[in-house]
Structure 1
Amino acid sequence: MYVAVKGGERAIENAHGWLAEARRGDATVPDLAVDQIREQLALAVDRVMAEGSLYDPDLAALALKQARGDVVEAVFLIRAFRTTLPRFGASAPLDTGAAQIIRRISATYKDAPGGQVLGPTFDYTHRLLDFGLAESATPAPAPEAPSSLGAVPHILSHLGEEGLIQPEREGGAEVPDLTRAPLEFPASRPLRLQALARGDEGFLLSLAYSTQRGYGRNHAFIGELRIGHVRVSAYLPELGFEIDFAEILLTECETVNQFQGSKSEPAQFTRGYGLVFGQSERKAISMALVDRALRTRELGEDTGSAPAQDEEFVLSHCDNIQSSGFLEHIKLPHYVDFQAELELIRKLRRRAMPEAAQ
């Protein structure tokens, strides 16, 4: 129960004013523009879009500015805005095989079919601070347009041609929409993937790391990690065909895992899958590892007791908005609750130590 605090409204208004002043910082320093955040803090923008379930780089950059760089708060702002948007329909399934690739690597094939494309990555940098970035900004040279690779097939499709990897099941029941219906258990794999796609990157990273350290059957290889621009289309009944209406940047990861087979299925590889808005490699890989860890029951493996294999544990705690909301609500007034606990402790002490009470 919350109680009214005298002067509370005025205090809140003053706190909001102070927040705006703190957000602006030193007024002698030029204000940070939204387009600067969008272009130069692109990975943070991509994370906000992914966990906010809304692909709009400008809004994600605005949310980061408003949140003073707090990614979780920015995700909260995007999620709240998303609820105000009308829903016109659903897009057709994305064809990531037709993506315009900017990065594509495989840890399973040295000479990957279609070639390895390193793209923009921190993987080979020395992780030394570049103090040149602290100098006054100078106009950047016009970037050269990267050559297009065209459609590049998925690397794991070559394993599929030999029957060496379990095929993905297509069709079947209608895919549920996590944004329109509450999460229920047991959850189907499509529903799990939706929850993981908007889950907190840090939480999923910790779970994925735990599977690599032995807390779960998950010794994986990265079959393919690709980043590229994918067209989004929708079927219009009025026209009778699909039209492209957008192009988005996605990161996709497919991992390869061992599987011993069963009486009905021969030994073959299985896969974990991750798909994330923007360039979010760490999140996509983490998602793929956790996805595979959650498939133990459907693959007939021992479920074990590893946290990453516990569907309810993972999916109930991976959403940073739900987690932070429940955690941060304890900052709000709980005077009545605490007074009740305080009186209970005093009563117990009086019963246990009557002499001291006198």
Structure 2
Amino acid sequence: MYVAVKGGERAIENAHAWLAEERRGDPSVDALSIEQIREQLSLAVNRVMAEGSLYDADLAALAIKQARGDLIEAIFLIRAYRTTLPRFGGSAPVDTGRMTCARRVSATFKDVPGGQILGPTFDYTHRLLDFKLAADGDVPDADTRSAEPTHVPHVTAFLNREGLIEDAPADDTPPPDLTREPLELPASRALRLQALARADEGFTLGMAYSTQRGYARNHAFVGELRIGSVPVEMDIPELGFAVEIGEIEVTECETVNQFKGSKTEPPQFTRGYGLVFGQTERKAISMALVDRALRWEELGEDNQGAPAQDAEFVLYHGDNIQATGFLEHIKLPHYVDFQSELELVRKLRREAGAPPVQEAAE
């Protein structure tokens, strides 16, 4: 490490001081508050919470500020802090059927029971810079909400009435905790979903996009995409029943995928599933597409050799913290390693009869 280099410790201290100065920016500009980040950069906050596996908007906003907007660095900070927290118990599985939806759309049914709820979305905006936002007073009108959040049924339930879609797999076995135990293969679907939920959004998006371009032959429809609040309950042994301890905002996506059937199963649609903290639509859809691609074996399909069908490739390379650590460690001192490589190359050149050249200073 640089500490071992002459003057390294003092250089590191100066680098930290310089980092703090760069983080603050021009002192004549008002400092960005945690509240401002939480309320006005909420999508960035949601991503940090999701991939950091910790639902706390204030801490995620603090991490974003400390990381100067580098979301992967902020996720790293959140995961590191998460390891210091005591664990009092586990919550019961959330029931997304009880979700109070602020947004809910389906690409499979126009007149879906409960209605399409567009909610806050970029889907219908023009991708043009809005210079009004550069001015003060960009407070939205009071009547922007078309309707209050409401409870609505799941779309796939209507397909399930006719047996047109597979039943949701029922497995009450508690999945391993990926935040406490290393990933092991082969991984169950529950463990795969857990890994995908905290995987890097860009990586997951790339894998999902590959399935749409034909790598995995897996055409999907968004059966339903919903965003809203769900109650979180926890079993209290002294009481003998579960009590509600709060609410969290989540994004849920269920895809409807084609399936030709097999010797034991009739032709029907199959499912892909994604569930992520906060309003994280792109991630939830990507997660559902990759989830379906990884199910090829249990559905008796052929492996097309697509990257998104390779569980080891997807799950081991989707974690941005592990990827960042392995990638960025190469910029740290490797003086001894390089010198040994340098001497080896020089020796091989001499043995090969290469003309001598003036050697660079070591």
Q: Taking structure 1 as the reference length, what is the TM-score of the superposition? A: 0.96
Matches of residues 109-120 of structure 1 in structure 2 within 5 Å? 109-120=109-120
Letter in 1 for 2:115: G
Matches of residues 7-156 of structure 1 in structure 2 within 5 Å? 7-137=7-137, 147-156=147-156
Tell me the equivalent position of 2:338.
Answer: 338
In the alignment, the residues of structure 1 paired with residue 143 and residue 89 of structure 2 have an alpha-carbon distance, to the nearest angstrom, of 37
User: How much does 1:77 deviate?
Assistant: 0.3
Contact 1:3/1:333 (8 A) holds in 2: no
Tell me the equivalent position of 2:252.
Answer: 252
In the alignment, the residues of structure 1 paired with residue 139 and residue 280 of structure 2 have an alpha-carbon distance, to the nearest angstrom, of 27
In the alignment, the residues of structure 2 paired with residue 311 and residue 35 of structure 1 have an alpha-carbon distance, to the nearest angstrom, of 39
Matches of residues 164-313 of structure 1 in structure 2 within 5 Å? 164-313=164-313
Contact 1:2/1:336 (8 A) holds in 2: no
Letter in 1 for 2:58: D
Letter in 1 for 2:26: D
Contact 1:275/1:284 (8 A) holds in 2: yes
Tell me the equivalent position of 2:162.
Answer: 162
How far does the alpha carbon of each residue in 1:283-333 deviate from its partner, in whole angstroms, 9 at most, with x for none?
Answer: 000000000000001111011211000000000000000000100011110
Contact 1:166/1:270 (8 A) holds in 2: yes
In the alignment, the residues of structure 2 paired with residue 272 and residue 60 of structure 1 have an alpha-carbon distance, to the nearest angstrom, of 28
Given the superposition, is the C-alpha separation of residues 204 and 13 from structure 1 closer, same or farther in structure 2, using an over 3 Å criterion?
A: same
Contact 1:252/1:275 (8 A) holds in 2: yes
Structure 2, unpaired ranges of 5+: none
Contact 2:225/2:251 (8 A) holds in 1: yes
In the alignment, the residues of structure 2 paired with residue 152 and residue 353 of structure 1 have an alpha-carbon distance, to the nearest angstrom, of 78
User: How much does 1:136 deviate?
Assistant: 2.7
Q: Secondary structure at the match of 2:150?
A: coil
Which moved further from structure 2: 141-150 or 73-82?
A: 141-150
How many pairs does the alignment contain? Answer: 358
User: How much does 1:334 deviate?
Assistant: 0.3
User: How much does 1:150 deviate?
Assistant: 3.4
Given the superposition, is the C-alpha separation of residues 16 and 119 from structure 1 closer, same or farther in structure 2, using an over 3 Å criterion?
A: same
User: How much does 1:246 deviate?
Assistant: 1.1
In the alignment, the residues of structure 2 paired with residue 178 and residue 26 of structure 1 have an alpha-carbon distance, to the nearest angstrom, of 41
User: How much does 1:2 deviate?
Assistant: 7.9
In the alignment, the residues of structure 2 paired with residue 258 and residue 138 of structure 1 have an alpha-carbon distance, to the nearest angstrom, of 45
Contact 2:166/2:268 (8 A) holds in 1: yes
Q: Secondary structure at the match of 1:238?
A: coil
In the alignment, the residues of structure 2 paired with residue 311 and residue 9 of structure 1 have an alpha-carbon distance, to the nearest angstrom, of 43
How far does the alpha carbon of each residue in 1:36-68 deviate from its partner, in whole angstroms, 9 at most, with x for none?
Answer: 000000000000000000000000000000000
Contact 1:222/1:253 (8 A) holds in 2: yes
Letter in 1 for 2:161: E
How far does the alpha carbon of each residue in 1:58-92 deviate from its partner, in whole angstroms, 9 at most, with x for none?
Answer: 00000000000000000000000000000011101
Contact 1:2/1:334 (8 A) holds in 2: no
User: How much does 1:356 deviate?
Assistant: 4.3
Contact 1:38/1:57 (8 A) holds in 2: yes
Contact 2:132/2:138 (8 A) holds in 1: no
Contact 2:101/2:150 (8 A) holds in 1: yes
User: How much does 1:151 deviate?
Assistant: 2.3
Given the superposition, is the C-alpha separation of residues 330 and 354 from structure 1 closer, same or farther in structure 2, using an over 3 Å criterion?
A: closer
Letter in 2 for 1:102: A
Given the superposition, is the C-alpha separation of residues 107 and 334 from structure 1 closer, same or farther in structure 2, using an over 3 Å criterion?
A: same
Letter in 1 for 2:169: R
In the alignment, the residues of structure 2 paired with residue 22 and residue 303 of structure 1 have an alpha-carbon distance, to the nearest angstrom, of 50
Given the superposition, is the C-alpha separation of residues 182 and 345 from structure 1 closer, same or farther in structure 2, using an over 3 Å criterion?
A: same
How far does the alpha carbon of each residue in 1:232-285 deviate from its partner, in whole angstroms, 9 at most, with x for none?
Answer: 011101111111111111000000111111111111100100000000000000
Contact 1:108/1:222 (8 A) holds in 2: yes
Q: Secondary structure at the match of 1:169?
A: coil
Letter in 2 for 1:341: E
Given the superposition, is the C-alpha separation of residues 357 and 17 from structure 1 closer, same or farther in structure 2, using an over 3 Å criterion?
A: closer
User: Alignment identity in percent?
Assistant: 71
Given the superposition, is the C-alpha separation of residues 302 and 25 from structure 1 closer, same or farther in structure 2, using an over 3 Å criterion?
A: same
Q: Secondary structure at the match of 2:228?
A: strand
Q: Taking structure 2 as the reference length, what is the TM-score of the superposition? A: 0.95
In the alignment, the residues of structure 2 paired with residue 2 and residue 183 of structure 1 have an alpha-carbon distance, to the nearest angstrom, of 32
In the alignment, the residues of structure 1 paired with residue 158 and residue 136 of structure 2 have an alpha-carbon distance, to the nearest angstrom, of 50
In the alignment, the residues of structure 2 paired with residue 3 and residue 98 of structure 1 have an alpha-carbon distance, to the nearest angstrom, of 54
